[in-house]
Amino acid sequence: MTYVKNWNRKAQKESMIEKWEQYTGKNCPAYCSNANCDNKLDDDNKCGAHVYKCNKDGKQISGTIYIVPLCKECNNTYNEDAMRIGNDNLLAPLNKL
C-alpha cells in the first residue's frame, strides 16, 4: 500500500492518461485510484495526475514523480491530502513515459 500527494506543476496540454496507458499496456481504470474515493473516471473526469510517494502523514519519501489515474477532484491543486493507492501497479514513473 502506498500513499501519494499531488505534485504541483504547471498545467499540461498533453494527455498523461494516454502515456500512462501506453506504459502500463492497460486501459485507464473505471474508478479513481485513490482508495478513499468512489468517483468514476469518465472521459471528462479523468486525469493522469503527477504525484510523489509520501508516508501516511504526508511527508515525502521519494523524489520520483509518478503518473496515476485520478479524478479531477483528487487531482485538484488544492488537494494536499495524502491519498492511499491500493495497488502499486497504478503508479507509472514519469521518467519512463
User: Site residues (CB under 5 A) for Zn ion?
Assistant: 32, 34, 37, 39, 71, 74
- Of 24 and 39, nearer to Zn ion (C-beta) is 39
- Of 19 and 72, nearer to Zn ion (C-beta) is 72
* Alpha helix segments (H runs only) across 1-97: 16-24, 72-75
For 22, residues 6+ apart whose C-beta sits below 8 A from its C-beta are 97
For 42, residues 6+ apart whose C-beta sits below 8 A from its C-beta are none
Cβ of residue 48: shortest distance to Zn ion, in angstroms?
13
For 43, residues 6+ apart whose C-beta sits below 8 A from its C-beta are none
Cβ of residue 79: shortest distance to Zn ion, in angstroms?
9
Cβ of residue 20: shortest distance to Zn ion, in angstroms?
15
- Of 19 and 84, nearer to Zn ion (C-beta) is 84
